[in-house]
Amino acid sequence: MAAVAGAVVLPWFVGRFCRHRAGWERAARLEREQRLIAEQARLRRARIAQDMHDVLGHELSLTALSAGALKLAPGLTDGHREAAGDIRAGAAGAVDRLGEVISVLRQEPDGAPPEPGDAGNAG
């Protein structure tokens, strides 16, 4: 009788153990995949932030520089100088707002600032 019970119960326990172990392995694999997806999303945000910083920052800086040069050009009326100053101030304000947007894009999903040496932390 004990041999029959062992012949039935032992395979059942082995099968249950294997299924349980396979479930833990699947859960661990899914967790690794989720971490990989989160890291890819973080890198994408960092790349977008860097691209925005490079392109828009450069364009806004050129606009501010051109407006500053225009403000100093000889022969302009006071109204034109004031308008050039307003354009320069607007471009400088846009650069500040761009910096705020970039800092939000560079933040980690939990709101923590990026780690030093982070790919999105340049410039």
Dump pLDDT digits (tens) for 4-39. 777 777 777 788 888 888 888 999 999 999 999 999
Q: What is the mean pLDDT of the chain?
A: 82
The pair of three-digit structure tokens given for residue 32, joined into one six-digit string: 């690794």
Distance CA 12, CA 10 (A): 5
0.75 exceeded by the pTM? no
Distance CA 80, CA 84 (A): 6
Sequence ranges of the domains in the chain: 2-121
- What was the pLDDT predicted at 37? 95
Q: Which of 106, 104, 103 is nearest to 120 (CA)?
A: 106
Distance CA 99, CA 101 (A): 5
Residue range 95-118: average pLDDT? Answer: 72
